[in-house]
């Protein structure tokens, strides 16, 4: 039986969005020192503060998850929600900081590798989940072949579907002339590289909001400017601080920056038949 999250009136932000499923999610990320920010930790903190899980998990409610292999599990938020009680939840995660986060959620096993190096027995898990990782976009055919080998029944990919940037965290807060990213929906890139025979059985789409709670807006602005390779004297740096300050909302623990997002959930079912 799968654990279900419940949301009442107290689970809403003041603007009506669903709050995340865990009280721990409200811890802001420390941004006073931009050089100390871990990009993966930043993204994981934003996912925890977002309505991502509550918007995406219902699209998987019809699946019998069984034993779950979570590829590139990250902070584990989605896997921890859709996993079934008393069934195995195996996580593949190469990042040390993300494995530390995962450990608090008590998965059955954490493999400290990337997907290409992970030693996983064939058909040992009922469902293979890959949410918000690069492989479906950069190597979809090879990754799908690997997932087919690992999965006994289902494969689930969660990929970006918004018309907008999908690389730099918080790029969606920025004008296109600043972030300079390709804005093609990620799902279009994935499907264009798969043959009709390789296409998923179903595709669901959900809108959600990436919400990052930061202790310091100038700090996060400096971090973003560095990631964009702006020089220390670039005049856009001061404009970026002003831009983010206009978008930021004051909340407990700091400031919240919201970025509208959309995800496509690609599902392959009964793959061994």
Long-range own/partner contacts, residues 195-204 (CB < 8 A, 24 or more apart)? 198/141, 198/144, 200/155, 200/157, 200/266, 200/267, 200/268, 201/267, 201/268, 201/269, 202/266, 202/267, 202/269, 203/264, 203/265, 203/266, 203/267, 204/59, 204/264, 204/265, 204/267
For residue 36, the model assigns a pLDDT of: 79
pLDDT at res. 273: 60
| φ, ψ (nearest 5 deg) of residue 48 | -65, -30
User: What secondary structure does DSSP assign to the chain, as a single string?
Assistant: -B------GGGB-TTSPBPPS-GGGGPPBP-SSGGG--HHHHHHHHHHTSSHHHHHGGGGTTS---SEEEET-TT-HHHHHHPBTTS-EEEE---HHHHHHHHTT--SEEE-S-TTT----TT-EEEEEEES-SHHHHSHHHHHHHHHHHEEEEEEEEEE-SSS--SSTTGGGS-HHHH----S-HHHHHHHTS-GGGS-SEEEEEEEEEEEEES-HHHHHHHHHHHTT--TT-THHHHHHHHHHHH-EEETTEEEEEEEEEEEEEEE--TT-
pTM strictly above 0.85? yes
Counting every residue, how long is the chain?
273
Q: Give the mean pLDDT of 184-208.
A: 97
272 pLDDT band (50/70/90 cuts)? low
pLDDT of 121 above 80:
yes
List domains and CATH numbers for the chain: 23-268 (3.40.50.150)
pLDDT score for 31? 66
* Alpha-carbon dihedral sign for residues 69, 147, 117, 187: negative
Q: What are the residues facing 205 on neighbouring strands?
A: 264
pLDDT tens digit string along 76-95? 999 999 999 999 999 999 99
Contact call for residues 56 and 84 (beta carbons, < 8 A): no
Q: Is residue 25 over pLDDT 80? A: no
Q: What is the mean pLDDT of residues 171-188?
A: 91
Confidence check: pLDDT of 171 > 60:
yes
């Amino acid at each position: 039986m799968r654990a279900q999250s419940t949301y009442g009136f107290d689970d809403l932000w003041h603007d009506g969005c669903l709050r995340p499923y865990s009280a721990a999610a409200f811890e802001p990320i420390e941004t006073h020192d931009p050089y100390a920010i871990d990009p993966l930790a930043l993204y994981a903190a934003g996912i925890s503060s977002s309505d991502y899980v509550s918007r995406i998990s219902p699209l998987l409610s019809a699946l019998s998850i069984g034993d779950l292999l979570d590829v590139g599990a990250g902070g584990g938020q989605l896997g921890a929600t859709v996993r079934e009680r008393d069934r195995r939840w195996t996580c593949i995660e190469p990042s040390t900081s993300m494995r530390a986060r995962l450990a608090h959620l008590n998965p059955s096993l954490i493999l400290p590798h990337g997907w290409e190096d992970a030693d996983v027995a064939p058909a040992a898990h009922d469902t293979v989940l890959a949410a918000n990782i690069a492989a479906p976009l950069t190597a979809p055919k090879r990754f799908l072949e690997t997932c087919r080998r690992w999965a006994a029944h289902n494969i689930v990919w969660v990929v970006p579907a918004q018309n907008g940037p999908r690389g730099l965290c918080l790029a969606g807060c920025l004008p296109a002339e600043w972030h300079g990213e390709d804005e093609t929906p990620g799902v279009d890139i994935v499907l264009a590289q798969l043959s009709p025979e390789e296409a998923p059985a179903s595709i669901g789409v959900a809108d959600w909001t990436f919400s990052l709670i930061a202790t310091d807006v100038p700090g996060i602005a400096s971090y973003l400017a560095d990631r964009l390779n702006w020089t220390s004297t670039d005049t856009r740096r001061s404009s970026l601080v002003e831009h983010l300050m206009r978008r930021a909302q004051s909340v407990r623990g700091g400031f919240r920056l919201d970025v509208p997002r959309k995800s496509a959930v690609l599902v392959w079912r009964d793959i061994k038949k």
